[in-house]
Homo-oligomer: A and B are copies of this chain.
Amino acid sequence: MADVITSEYRLATEPGLKRFVAAVLEAVGVTPDDAAIVADVLVAADLRGIESHGVARLEPYYVGRIRAGVLAAQPVVTTVHETPTSLLVDAGNGLGHPTAARTMARVLDKAAQMGAAFGAVRNANHYGIAGYYAMMALDRDMIGIASTNSVRYAAPTFGREILLGTNPLAFAIPAQHEPAFVLDFATTTVPRGKLDVYARKEKPLNPGWAIDANGHETLDPRVALNGALLPLGGYGTDNGGHKGYGLGLLVDILCGVLAGGAFGKDLAGPGDGPLPGTISHFFAAFKIAGFRDPEQFKADMDKELRAFKDSAKAPGHDRIYVAGEIEFEKTAYHRAHGIPVHVKVWDGLRKLAGELEIPFDFERSL
């Protein structure tokens, strides 16, 4: 994994970067408790190697919106409905992460008591990586699920209107000695950021990634950026595009419709600019002990995950991964060697530090 540590990256310490993110958020009016949660979620993404969802988003997704008055730094968060096994929260157009983390914590408490529980949040903003919230179940011997709808970028199978976000689904299941199984994936074939990267490199897209504005499949990244992403499975139904479309719509229902929030075309689309938060999240947890002794379950999880990792490799490949394994290894590596932050992001954070008069002091000393 040392390959990412090039001259394009500088290295941050985990505590330093978290402290910095929290300080930035506090400087624009976020409470210390909320700021600490956001910092933890964003830095967790960078630790896991998911740069797109880490501190790179601090300014454009969060601080910029607070300063523009679009996102409430200190929202009024309310519990809309609650039963022993369910919970609906209104995030009051605040940062997604604190309300999401607190809602998942309450879902886990309910599941610890009742065996199973579900939760939803509406009127929220982007909450970072869905996997973070699913993973909160792991050390409680539960299985965790998290999802969110999001800004629209994708068209349904046979359609050309932009109606669906990348709508991720995350599942976290604990193992014993092996890293936990953590499946966290967008229900589109690729994220929109991939089109940007390919446009910059002037590389053609793969078939199955995107369509143009008229609904024709396109391999031209610049054309695709004015078109729409395709669901996992690609164009049409031959390769299962209807399955990815179904999963994307499932997420929009479990989040937007179930939470009584925005759904479908009422969500922000590309080019809408920053709007008050109208996205919704979905959470679930249940106890392994409702079925089996958790220690026996986790020992079997080790067997299951190892059987996949140890199985015969395809030509040209020397490793088979299970979901979450790469991110687990990257986290350990980045904790030991520093968190790589792209120089452009680094410079953006330095600028933010200057503007907000905050110490810029998270660089890892070599």
- Is A23 at the interface (CB under 8 A from chain B)? no
- B259, B292, B308, B314: the one contacting A215 at CB < 8 Å is B314
Separation of A134 and B65 alpha carbons in the complex (Å): 41
Cross-chain contact A292 with B157 (CB below 8 angstroms): no
Asked whether, in the complex, the Cβ of B304 is within 8 Å of the Cβ of A253, the reply is yes
Contact of A232 among B161, B233, B256, B297 (CB under 8 A): B233
A161 and B215 contacting across the interface, CB-CB below 8 Å: no
Interface on chain A toward B: helix, strand, loop, or mixed SS?
mixed
A343 CB-CB contact with B under 8 Å: no
Contact B239 A291 (CB under 8 A): no
Q: Which of A81-89, A94-102, A346-354 contacts B (4 or more CB under 8 A)?
A: A81-89
Give the oligomeric copy count.
2
Range class of the A interface residue count = 35 or more
Interface digits, A269-297 against B, CB 8 Å rule (1 contact, 0 not)? Answer: 00000000000000010111011100011
Q: Is the CB of A88 within 8 A of B185?
A: no
- List the B side residues contacting A193 at CB < 8 Å: none
A84-B114 in contact (CB<8A): yes
Which single member of B81, B290, B301 contacts A253 (CB below 8 Å)? B301
Residues of B within 8 A of A312 (CB): 159-161, 215
A241 to B256, CA, bound (A): 27
Q: For residue A161, which residues in chain B have a CB less than 8 angstroms away from its CB?
A: 311-312
Instruction: Indicate if the CB atoms of B81 and A159 lie closer than 8 Å.
Output: no
A133-189 at interface with B (beta carbon < 8 Å): 143, 155-161, 163, 171, 173, 181, 183, 185, 189
- Of the listed residues A216, A245, A259, the one surrounded by the most CB atoms of chain B closer than 10 A to its CB is A245
Which of B183, B245, B291 is in CB contact (< 8 Å) with A258? B291
- Whether B291 pairs with A215 at a CB distance below 8 angstroms is no
**Complex A-B: 15 CB contacts under 8 Å:** A81-B291, A83-B290, A85-B286, A85-B290, A86-B286, A116-B118, A118-B286, A158-B313, A159-B317, A163-B308, A189-B239, A208-B239, A263-B300, A263-B304, A264-B308
Q: Please report A residues at the B interface, Cβ cutoff 8 Å.
A: 81, 83-86, 88, 114-118, 120, 143, 155-161, 163, 171, 173, 181, 183, 185, 189-190, 206, 208-209, 211, 214-216, 232-234, 238-240, 242-247, 249-250, 252-254, 256-260, 263-265, 284, 286-288, 290-292, 296-297, 300-301, 303-304, 307-308, 311-315, 317, 319-323
